């Protein structure tokens, strides 16, 4: 995978803070969390646990394993599959970014120790490609052993927990941010039990990856399926079929999603007139831009701008 594509995928997220906690849970235990508007990281320091997501097979995490949830997907954590759970809110109420908690669940069984972080980001800035990432990415202990910077950062976070040093909240944010980026880099490479997912193969595919980078960074150009195929160095039919199979949607729909995301951002954050925004996102006609925007968001560009939050307040997530 092209490293620039990973940078383009993550740079717009604008991480704003991290809530992190250390868990010491003795069997039997089980906790169920609803979907959260942040990326989640679970690192098993000792023991083992099971992750269960709706529509997925249970995933067993053992000592030294790392699980990343790019979209904060709802999931259950327990010492064993099928265990009765309690709501996360009953164990960890009011998870404010920047705060730190230690959670203890007593029981007669084996202890599991975990580090957990919630990385809050601007959901509206997440690219269509980021939103296509799997619900969970798992890096096992063997994979982490081949990622010394990632493993060292996790070890450092574990060692810092009981320290009370100045700037600890900022250090935790940067450390979890680094863990997040390095984990995605490892997962998008050859490592991790989720590496076979289609969108991850798309990011590693030299031809489709080149087209994805073009869509992500040069969305204002007058792309067609033919020109994107040429960018990828493939025939039109082979490119369209491979792109759809790996990314999960047609190339032009993916391009439209990227253009509409940027258009919404410009409407919310700038005072540019509609014709200037239309040109920036690849539309030669204001009428064509208005029609596309209304079809995508269910409102006109003017209506979207009027409903935009005040400067300094984060925008709501866009309905992809």
DSSP secondary structure code for residue 13 in this structure = G
What band does 7 get if pLDDT is binned at 50, 70 and 90?
confident
Spelled out in words, what is the top-level CATH class assigned to the domain 3-195?
mainly beta
Rounded (10°) angle between helices 3-10 and 168-188 = 130
CB count within 10 Å of CB 197 equals: 18
Topology of the domain comprising 205-306: Arc Repressor Mutant, subunit A (1.10.10)
Residues linked to residue 68 through DSSP beta bridges, in sequence order = 41, 137
pLDDT above 60 for 123: yes
CB count within 10 Å of CB 311 equals: 7
What is the C-alpha separation between 11 and 125, in angstroms, rounded?
9
Q: Which pLDDT value is given to residue 311? A: 47
How high is the mean pLDDT of the chain?
Answer: 87
What is the C-alpha separation between 211 and 191, in angstroms, rounded?
23
Say whether 205-306 and 3-195 share the same fold. no
pLDDT above 70 for 316: no
Mean pLDDT of 9-30: 86
Query: CB under 8 Å to 82, separation ≥6 — which residues?
Result: none
DSSP secondary structure code for residue 220 in this structure = T
Tokens, residue 171: 């250090």
Task: Please indicate whether residue 311 or residue 63 has the higher confidence score (pLDDT).
Answer: 63
pLDDT tens for each residue of 254-286: 999 999 999 999 999 999 999 999 999 999 999
CA of residue 270 relative to chain centroid, distance: 26
The answer to whether 267 and 278 have CB atoms below 8 angstroms apart is no
Alpha-carbon distances, residue 139 vs 23, 148, 205 (angstroms): 19, 13, 20
Q: Which pLDDT value is given to residue 194? A: 57
Q: Which pLDDT value is given to residue 95? A: 80
pLDDT tens for each residue of 173-206: 788 889 988 998 888 776 555 545 777 888 889 9
pTM for this prediction: 0.82
pLDDT tens for each residue of 135-168: 999 999 999 999 999 999 998 887 776 666 777 7
The answer to whether 81 and 27 have CB atoms below 8 angstroms apart is no
R_g (Cα) of the chain, nearest Å: 21
Domain map of the chain by residue range?
3-195, 205-306
Strand arrangement, sheet containing 111-120: 100-105, 17-26, 111-120, 38-46, 66-69, 137-139
Task: Please indicate whether residue 30 or residue 191 has the higher confidence score (pLDDT).
Answer: 30
């Amino acid at each position: 995978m092209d490293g620039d594509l990973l940078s383009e995928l993550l740079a717009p997220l604008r991480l704003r803070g991290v809530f992190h906690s250390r868990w010491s849970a003795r069997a039997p235990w089980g906790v169920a969390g609803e979907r959260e508007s942040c990326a989640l990281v679970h690192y098993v320091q000792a023991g083992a646990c099971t992750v269960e997501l709706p529509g997925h097979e249970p995933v067993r995490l053992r000592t030294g394993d790392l699980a990343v949830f790019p979209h904060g997907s709802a999931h259950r954590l327990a010492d064993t599959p099928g265990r009765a759970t309690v709501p996360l809110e009953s164990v960890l109420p009011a998870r404010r970014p920047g705060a730190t908690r230690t959670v203890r669940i007593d029981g007669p069984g084996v202890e599991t120790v975990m580090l957990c972080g919630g990385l809050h980001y601007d959901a509206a800035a997440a690219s269509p490609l980021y939103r296509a990432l799997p619900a969970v990415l798992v890096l096992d202990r063997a994979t982490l052993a081949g990622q010394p910077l990632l493993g060292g950062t996790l070890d450092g976070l574990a060692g810092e927990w009981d320290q009370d040093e100045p700037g600890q909240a900022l250090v935790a944010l940067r450390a979890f941010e680094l863990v997040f980026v390095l984990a995605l880099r490892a997962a998008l490479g050859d490592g991790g039990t989720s590496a076979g997912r289609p969108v991850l193969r798309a990011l590693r595919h030299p031809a489709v990856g080149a087209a994805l980078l073009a869509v992500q960074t040069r969305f204002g150009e007058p792309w067609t399926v033919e020109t994107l195929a040429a960018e990828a160095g493939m025939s039109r039919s082979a490119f369209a079929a491979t792109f759809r199979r790996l990314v999960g949607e047609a190339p032009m729909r993916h391009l439209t999603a990227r253009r509409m995301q940027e258009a919404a951002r410009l409407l919310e954050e700038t005072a540019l007139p509609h014709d200037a925004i239309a040109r920036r996102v690849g539309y030669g006609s204001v009428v064509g831009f208005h029609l596309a925007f209304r079809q995508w968001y269910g409102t006109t560009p003017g209506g979207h701008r009027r409903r935009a939050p005040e400067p300094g307040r984060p925008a709501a997530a866009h309905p992809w």
